[in-house]
Chain A
């Protein structure tokens, strides 16, 4: 079992890669895995039936007595067979459901496969905490799968709702499980059931665990998340919300019933809520027009039914319950898959628009009919067999005088009547011809898509007749509960009360169908009772409003307000502490070398000036002066590492500032004059003073002898000579890991603030270059047509109509940067382009050098990454956002993720070899001719840091640079005064004249004759003079 789980995990991880070159066919490949596990499970069947469960235990956290223990008994085997069998069929169905160009196909395949694995782990886990881990994992995976269409708001909302509700229940369940484990003295589920916890602890624990179960299985009052989750793709609905995940709650009830069905809290929750849910679900299903929603409410109803039956607590009911579980998995998955096919073919799921579908899709209609008949309990299908068993079990209990049995029986009969009614509604709505609706136009679907639902429907028929072979497995579980062993599942028991009840159910169902208009009127007149979705939304909106009002109350003063508060706290706290300090240094040395006071003076002047100037750009430059002054101070004090890093950081910060300031008014406080100038000045001055005093005190406060003397030896132990770097990547690697995690969060935050919609993908790329520069030509220079030197390119696509001859005939020059020509000649500087072209590659080489030399000399991943980032900055500044896209044609998120993975991977890697986190290792070998090569895990860690820093810079450039450019261009284009627009082709459509203008520009002559550059006339004479001088 553990091996199967590992196989699921590994396969899910490689799925995104596999999906890239297999497309949707990847599903056919991965369906093999659950199918293989299904077969493997079948081979264990005889042993399990013989009463010897398969057990695997691997110790995990001995201190808490938690181990990876798995136990496959009859119930687990039944569920595991359903999970893997239906899973394999649903994956097979996905092959035809999705198109190859479906976005995020690899992610979806990986998640769905991972879900199958997690579900398999859930039903086989024996340790309650392992069970809980899988339980929560299904919630998270279900969140990701429901939210598959990340661009749709309702999809994200439904995903979040499902996650919130099921996690709430899950947390309650965790508390219950902890109580059980502590009171029972073991974490083994089988032992807890064999030797149940009783008394108040047991009651509370089971109530909490059941809370988890009913939230997961969408029982009232948590039922609302399941219909909303229908925003997911159909395979997800079929698998998670019919066959697998929602069954987790039923499984837990079935699992606990043998030990805990006698508790006081058990019956009210299980039977009371079960019966209520069955009725509410069926009632609401009768009101739906969307056939998928109809099925969803039907599922809610059936889940209530299942929980009620499996939790009833007698042997016969348990037998009926697991039979119903099997039947439900078969017919409901088949029905959802059919709905997906109809939806695909007709383009709608609203049955008021569907007509004549059954006549033209006879195979699909037949499959649906069989599955729906099983749902309604029509003989000779497995649904009928199960329902007969349920009625018999409840009737027997009623006869025995059980008061809860009355509730259960009435609930089951009434619910079944509703089931019959909504089944008819579904079949009629989806497949029949309606007199007043024209035939729905249908797309042809591949016949192969019917394979999976067909097999499931066939199983509904076959299993009825194979009941003697299936029953031992079901009975093997049911026998754990009290009650006589003489009842058997069968199609025909003779004329007995249960059969009569079935007949009554069908008759009443037919009555409902006959009087459907009256039912509809009744439903419309009754206020929606138990609409807990509204309650949920109410809670959420109250939380939102409270949060918003607190935020408004606290954060009303803007940035100056925050800073004032932070600074005041700083002055009050640390200032007071430093005044009360007793360990003042004995003497004060004014300076170490003469340049120090000079630099300090320059920095002080710049700082004061920065606070008083009125131009934003000037203020930023003055702040930079203080930063570069610090660089000099570091450098002169013998800290080249710090100086190097500070210089690079200062430069990057300056660039980011400039990028941001483009969008702000040039003057500071143009609109709102600053208030409380004096107070602000005092706060600023005091903060500086406190900081200075703190420095003084801190330097004099040493009590213990310094450990600096030991550091060189420690560094050598870590194979490094540069103590600073060894500190960063080895001794204090935890800090660095935390810091780069913050960097990743910052990059994501910046990007998501700027990009209004999705931020995946790299910076925009040139479309024309791919044609112009193919692989063979990469060693040859790229010619640049003369007109692109003279005139701006109106759009990137305007090379489309150009013949090669025209391009060659034009006076051409060499292109220096790939996207230089996308910039208007007025803003273009060939000087910068040539310099960037010549210096970009050397800068990258130096950054790689800094990365690798870091362990022994000044440098390191951080400095190297910053330098590489600056090289990208240069490319962007010289060639604009398209140049950035060509310079780094990768998603910044990928760089960040890879870097973080590498860093965290080296941290966790040593765990695999039994060492503590971050234990360093070195690989050193003597290569002939080359010499000694030594690679340490700390080098890998540093590479991770390097990638994160590059990714951060790229993300900032992409959002604050490229995206802001694009937004600005769009703004100018929208305002209508943009004579030319670069960028997206859609602008051409907005301005009818743009293509014509483009042609004029491209021609060049009109440009120089008609529209002169503003300074052109002034320049002309001096040119003539030059020529005179030459002659």
Chain B
């Protein structure tokens, strides 16, 4: 999935950068802890001034944000962190545990820098897994995972990573990315049902 940066019209690109600007204003108002005309006006001026004077290439967000999916993503993250913390804590104090860790390469579904980065961050936040390198060109994540004794463990980690990526794409990815992720899910579900059906 490439960011076709050049084919976005000017106003559309401004529109898609707006969330970051608004976020800066929110940050300012939040810091002052009061919503007054003064804080909002100075916030807007400051946000525009800072982004103009200290110029950085604009970030094109997807222009899409699914609130429900975002909520799910957040809840799932909290759950993952809690469970993984407990698991790592148990491993840390378990005298019988012999470390058996591995570096795993995961092929991501998308090539978007933003999704890749967020996925990498989300994985690093969860204890037990740390991203050690990213192959930007091929969309590969290399991560270090604790306690991967069997191939099944490795597959589980890989599934978790891809699941996290899917949730992120569904929450903030572009329409195209989200559609392809949904299609991939349907396919997998169908395959799953199919295999069930065969067994039955």
Contact = CB atoms under 8 A, between A and B. Distances in A.
Contacts of B2: 811-813
A731 to B, nearest CB: 26
Contacts of B114: 834
B32 interface: yes
Nearest to A1022: B105
Give the one of A780, A833, A844, A853 with max B CB within 10 A: A780
B107 A813 contact: no
B98 interface: no
B56 A840 contact: yes
B105 A837 contact: no
A1023 B6 CA distance: 31
A526 interface: no
Given A931-B38, A1023-B140, A812 B6 contact: yes
A882 to B, nearest CB: 14
Contacts of B50: 841, 844-845, 848
Contact of B155 (A778, A844, A1029): A1029
A953 interface: no
Contacts of A833: 113
B113 A842 contact: no
A930 interface: yes
A613 to B, nearest CB: 24
Nearest to A832: B117
B170 to A, nearest CB: 18
Contacts of A842: 23-24, 27
Interface string A780-823: 11110010011000000000000000001001111111100000
Contact of B10 (A779, A812, A1030): A779
Given A789-B137, A818-B57, A841-B50, A783 B5 contact: yes
A773 B58 CA distance: 11
A814 B57 contact: yes
A846 interface: yes
Give the one of A786, A790, A846, A1029 with max B CB within 10 A: A1029
A814 B38 contact: no
A849 interface: yes
Give the one of B104, B135, B136 with max A CB within 10 A: B136
A817 B107 CA distance: 25
Given A813-B3, A930-B41, A830 B14 contact: no
B27 A845 contact: yes
B86 interface: no
A1001 to B, nearest CB: 14
Interface residues of A, number: 52
A403 interface: no
B59 interface: yes
A437 interface: no
Contacts of B113: 813-814, 816, 830, 833-834
B57 A845 contact: no
Contacts, number: 144
B10 A780 contact: yes
Given A813-B2, A853-B31, A837 B56 contact: yes
A844 B24 CA distance: 10
B146 interface: no
Contact of A817 (B27, B57, B106): B57
B68 interface: no
Contact of B58 (A779, A831, A844, A1030): A779
B120 interface: yes
A1026 interface: yes
A466 interface: no
A931 B40 CA distance: 12
Contacts of B46: 845, 848
A817 B37 contact: no
B17 to A, nearest CB: 7
B123 to A, nearest CB: 11
Interface residues of B, number: 55
Contacts of B136: 789, 825, 828, 830
Given A811-B2, A835-B117, A779 B13 contact: yes
Contacts of A933: 38
B198 interface: no
Nearest to B6: A783
Q: Binding site of A, secondary structure by majority: helix, strand, loop or mixed?
A: helix
B97 interface: no
B134 interface: yes
Interface in B99-155: 104-107, 111, 113-114, 116-117, 120-121, 131, 133-138, 140, 142, 155
Nearest to B17: A779
Give the one of B47, B56, B134 with max A CB within 10 A: B56
A830 B117 contact: yes
B51 A786 contact: no
A152 interface: no
Contacts of A840: 54, 56
Contacts of A846: 27, 31
Nearest to B118: A834
A637 interface: no
Contacts of A789: 136-137
Contact of B107 (A808, A888, A930, A1030): A1030
Contacts of A831: 116-117, 120-121, 131, 134
A844 B105 contact: no
Nearest to B103: A1022
A1025 to B, nearest CB: 8
B151 to A, nearest CB: 9
Given A782-B57, A817-B57, A841 B116 contact: no
A814 B3 contact: yes
A790 B46 CA distance: 37
A849 B32 contact: yes
A929 interface: yes
Nearest to A847: B50
A842 B19 CA distance: 13
A867 interface: no
B195 interface: no
Nearest to A842: B27
Nearest to B40: A930
A583 interface: no
Contacts of B138: 1023
A1026 B106 contact: yes
Interface string A841-882: 110111011000100000000000000000000000000000
A999 B197 CA distance: 57
A891 to B, nearest CB: 16
A844 B55 CA distance: 12
Contacts of A1019: 105, 135, 140, 142
Interface string A904-943: 0000000000000000000000000111010000000000
A303 B192 CA distance: 106
B155 to A, nearest CB: 6
Interface in A984-1031: 1019, 1022-1023, 1026-1027, 1029-1030
A841 B24 contact: yes
A967 interface: no
A838 interface: yes
Contacts of B38: 930-931, 933
Nearest to A811: B2
Contact of A931 (B13, B36, B55, B59): B36
Contacts of B27: 842, 845-846
A778 B14 CA distance: 10
Contacts of B20: 838, 841
A887 B105 contact: no
A814 B32 CA distance: 34
A548 to B, nearest CB: 46
A818 B137 CA distance: 19
Given A781-B58, A782-B5, A835-B121, 16 more contacts: A779-B17, A813-B5, A814-B3, A816-B56, A817-B57, A829-B133, A830-B113, A831-B116, A831-B131, A845-B24, A845-B27, A888-B54, A931-B37, A931-B38, A933-B38, A1019-B135
8 contacts: A779-B13, A812-B6, A818-B57, A840-B54, A841-B54, A886-B55, A933-B38, A1022-B104
